[in-house]
Amino acid sequence: MLNLLIFVMRLLARMPLPWLRAVGHGLGWSLWHLARKRRRVVTVNLKKCMPELSESEREALAYRHFVVFGQSVLDRAWLWHAPEALVRQRLRWVGDLQALKQPGPLVMFAPHFVGLEAGGIAVSLDVPGPVAFIFVGQSNPAVEALVRQGRERSGNVRPYYRHEGMRQILVRIKKGEPLHLSPDMDFGRSESIFVPFMGVEQAATVPSLSRLSKVVGARVVPVVTRMTPQGYDIEVHAPLSDFPTADLAQDTLRMNGSLADWVRTMPEQYYWVHKRFKTRPEGEPGFY
């Protein structure tokens, strides 16, 4: 099974990018029509976060999301299996890459846009490391092996898994190992606090960006990945000033506010297929 998956991905990796993106568009179209439960999740998320749009505008945006989602899935073929020179050609750094190479503890805030995988590959190729990543394991062993092989192709990745806890990660960050962190998902009540996000007043949000950076004294640099016709732009934003503070909730609110600004610049590319608001305050009905 694993060998077959690798064989197919290596074939796809040989395709010119416009051709592969066309196939990815077809995959997105198929998911739009077949994955009805996930389509409803996207629709609910957009209704909650972008109420100013009409129903037809939200539907068009949801469809575009499925398209870029399908394209990003197939882009993993070349990200994981194309020659490194080709991968570098399609990954463009925007902003000050040197902000990620300065000495001292570093946490990269890397939100869940569809280009997150590409951004992670770019970081592993160009940021001195090893670089720490926190992954969620795959239930299928063959898929897990495929994913790990692709993500760790540079030899500069230090993989950690959420179930392993944070102790090792904290020790490594203090010693100067950069951390690539994506805390903008709903990981349940026990790990979250409720702060606003894109008009939803009570959004369960993991406050790990503030908490981790405070414990290890790390600077926080946002790294946002944007899909383009040529591949992906990896945007390095200015380090967060006066962050973290003593107020965990205000820090997390600030994180969500910055994320919302980036989402509005490319709304179809945020990871709307995730049940971002599945955890509700006690007594409040669910959204989905």
Q: How many CB atoms lie within 10 A of CB 150?
A: 17
**Across the chain, how many H-helices and E-strands are there?**
10, 9
Reduced to 3 states (helix: H, G, I; strand: E, B; else coil), residue 288 is coil
Give the model confidence (pLDDT) of 25-82 as tens digits: 999 999 999 999 999 999 999 999 999 999 999 999 999 999 999 999 999 999 999 9
Q: What is the DSSP letter of 53?
A: S
User: Among 13-22, 46-55, 126-135, whose mean pLDDT is lowest?
Assistant: 126-135
Question: pTM for the whole thing?
Answer: 0.94
Domain boundaries, the chain: 2-269
